[in-house]
Amino acid sequence: MKRWRRSVLALLLPLLTTLVLITPGTAQEGTVAVIVNPRNSITDVSSSDLRKIFNGEKRSWPAGVRIKLIVLAPGSHERLVLLRLLGMSESEYKHYWAAQVFRGDVDSEPLTVPSFGMVKEAATVFPGAIALVDARDVKPGMPLKVIKLDGHMPGDVGYSLR
Amino acid sequence: MRRNWGKRFLIHGVLVPFLFLNFGRAQNSSSEDSETISALAQQIRELQQHDRELQERIRLLEADQKTGATVEPPAPVSDASPPPAQTPPPSSSPEMHLVHGIQWRGFAELDYKVLDRRAPELGTYGFVPGSAGNFYTGDFDLFLTSRLTERTSILSEIDVEEGDAQRFRVDLRRLLLKYDANDHLRFSFGRYQTSIGFYNWAFRSASWLQTTADRPLVMEFASNGGLLPTQAVGVSVTGSIPSGKLGLNYVAEYGSSDTVRPDLNGDGLRNDENNGNQVNVGLFLTPDRFPGLRIGGSIYHDQISDLVSPAPGPGGIINPGDNGIVLSPSARLNQTIINGHLVYLSHGIEFLNEAFLIRHAPVAAGEVFNTPAFYSQFSRKFASFRPFFRYQYVNASLKNPIYDDISLRYGPSVGARYDLNDYVAFKAQWDHTERRRLPDLNGLHLQLSGAF
């Protein structure tokens, strides 16, 4: 009987350990939050407006403050979510913004920063800042404001940015 | 026995799954290694760039403190009252170069073109007409912008273009003082590129930005034989119209063009149109439901003349009477250009379609000429490789005093663009053009273009 139990355990243990090792990997594909400067009165943005903001079509907040785009560097999950939102590859994104600036439609390309810490810093400095960040990085008390996307907060059912 | 159980636990319970997972990861990651390395290298470059900019900011702040300047905290954002205009800190964009508040960027190209006919055909951008094939440098562009205030900026585009016999001509393609009141009202004052159609709005001098090696003939710059007044000096207003999910936008321009276009057929003549003030109004929509789709149109009107003169000789000197040509009397014509376009740009697909009707009607009584033209261009990106196909058509009457050199021209262009990296592209393009009363023309155009 003991031998039978040990055999069952020997079979189950690899399965359990595999599950434990796999779980953190899937959690990395986190939800992405839309953050703005805490003094910005906006509380909600639609998916289509978010796309227009990040492709430079929409350049001012309703209050008239110029939008300042802050994006994470290539290779980050948030960057991939942004590219998916815009329907572009990394090289198309760079080409697109070079053309936007050259056309004279915008003064400069989005501010590219390498880490969440720098996003946080920039979002505090620029009154019109907006950025996409990993929702798990945003902690209570941080000088950032998470806004709703299509009426949903990150983690809600129906939240689409992930 | 207990020791054996412990070993089995270690091997089956921990090591096997661990090895299994790592084997799986290794298989997946082998194809992603190069992307990861290049992404990391890019991040390092950007970190270094950012570090340099932070050092510069620290240096500036220290200098400010020494002179007793104080840093004001940012004003709160509220719907009721926008904060006062303030100059933002310098952008740390890695794509533009910042020198004393002026951002600049350059574009350059090297071309090789060969035609199967030695019969004279206008040489543009340094291509020698009648030659079997030659190299030329095309356009060299310097683009400068500077933010003056929160809503005001200045923009200039200086173009150095190769002409015949490796002479270079400097052209101030654009010089604009821009004021963005809000998303609905953006003003530009100065020399602008007219928004007739999509192509002239979307693409400027830099070849690197466009998929094909050259512009469609109807959208070619007028100074290179193109049909339309591509540049003007005046005022341009653009913005979005509140229209919900329709995404309606407008553009309105009022200015002076003064187009001078050389004849395409190599007769050595050029047409000084002496344009009056032009009005151009356009509308386009970008519906939310179909991201990347743009449908629009524009209508342009001005008055022009058909003053023909010999093209400048060596040194840019014009000698009336050269080529045995006597200056023609200048008739005044009403010129109306109607455009409609349908464009889709998303998910690596570029699908451009534009049609034009160019109408010339004498101010006094006389024959009216309608010139229809269109082009359609499709391309799809596969990693760094983008094959493209374009078909274009222009049909001008031989009796049209403005476009008598163009006549009927149509045919396909096939080629591909290969992006060597984010800044350099190589393009190869084959063109076939059928011409009324003239033999077909085949051409191969190779181009290396880049941004710096």
pLDDT band at A27 (very low <50, low <70, confident <90, very high): very low
The confidence score (pLDDT) of residue A2 equals 59
CB contact under 8 A, A104 and B147: no
B277 has a chain A CB within 8 A of its CB: no
Which residues of chain B does A61 touch, with a Cβ-Cβ cutoff of 8 Å? 77
pLDDT tens per residue, range B59-72: 666 655 554 443 34
Residues 50-109 of A with CB under 8 A from B: 51-52, 57-66, 68, 73-75, 87-89, 91-92, 94-95, 97-99, 101-104, 107-109
The confidence score (pLDDT) of residue B129 equals 66
User: In Å, how far is B100's CA from the nearest CA of chain A?
Assistant: 15
At residue B217, φ and ψ (nearest 5 deg) are -55, -45
Nearby residues of B206 by Cβ (< 8 Å), 6 or more positions away: A102, B107, B139, B141, B143, B449, B451
- 3-class DSSP state for residue A149? strand
Question: How far, in Å, CA of B233 to CA of B193, rounded?
Answer: 9
The confidence score (pLDDT) of residue B138 equals 85
Name the more confident of A53 and B317: A53
Which residues of chain A does B77 touch, with a Cβ-Cβ cutoff of 8 Å? 37, 39-41, 61, 63, 65, 127-128
At residue A159, φ and ψ (nearest 5 deg) are -75, 125
The confidence score (pLDDT) of residue B40 equals 61
Question: How far, in Å, CA of B155 to CA of B96, rounded?
Answer: 13
ipTM of the complex: 0.75
Total CB pairs under 8 A between chain A and B: 163
The confidence score (pLDDT) of residue B336 equals 96
Q: Tokens 């159609």, residue?
A: B197
The confidence score (pLDDT) of residue A4 equals 62
Maximum average pLDDT range among A33-37, A153-157, B54-58: A33-37
Which pTM value belongs to this model?
A: 0.76
Which residues of chain B does A72 touch, with a Cβ-Cβ cutoff of 8 Å? none
The confidence score (pLDDT) of residue B257 equals 87
The confidence score (pLDDT) of residue B205 equals 83
CB contact under 8 A, A112 and B93: yes
Burial class (CB in 10 A: 0-12, 13-18, 19+), A33: buried
Give the chain B residue whose CA is nearest to the CA of A75.
B39
CB contact under 8 A, A104 and B178: yes
pLDDT band at A26 (very low <50, low <70, confident <90, very high): very low
Q: Nearest 5°: CA angle at B330, between B328 and B190?
A: 125
Distances (CA, A) of A127 to A17, A138, B67, B129, B150: 48, 18, 26, 56, 12
**Full strand arrangement of the beta sheet holding A32-36:** A44-45, A145-149, A32-36, A129-134, A68-72, A111-113
Which of B4, B89, B108, B295 shows the shortest CA–CA distance to A70?
B89
pLDDT over 70 percentage in chain A: 82
The confidence score (pLDDT) of residue B97 equals 75
The confidence score (pLDDT) of residue A15 equals 52
Which residues of chain B does A52 touch, with a Cβ-Cβ cutoff of 8 Å? 247
Fold of A28-149: D-Maltodextrin-Binding Protein; domain 2 (3.40.190)
Question: How far, in Å, CA of B160 to CA of B415, rounded?
Answer: 26
3-state helix, strand, coil in chain A (%, to 5): 45, 20, 40
Tens digits of pLDDT across chain B (452 residues) = 444 555 554 455 544 444 444 433 433 444 445 555 555 666 666 676 667 677 666 666 665 555 444 334 444 444 434 443 333 444 444 466 777 788 889 999 999 998 887 766 766 666 776 667 889 888 899 999 998 998 899 999 999 988 777 888 898 999 999 999 999 999 999 999 999 999 999 998 889 999 999 999 999 988 888 899 999 999 999 999 999 899 999 999 999 988 888 888 777 788 888 888 999 999 999 999 999 999 999 999 999 988 777 766 544 444 444 444 555 657 889 999 999 999 999 989 999 999 999 999 998 888 899 999 999 999 999 989 999 999 999 999 988 888 888 889 999 999 999 999 989 999 999 999 998 888 888 999 999 999 99
CB contact under 8 A, A111 and B346: no
- Burial profile B305-324: b = 16 or more Cβ within 10 angstroms, e = fewer: bbbbbbbbeeeeeeeeeeee
Question: How far, in Å, CA of B369 to CA of B361, rounded?
Answer: 6
The confidence score (pLDDT) of residue B198 equals 94
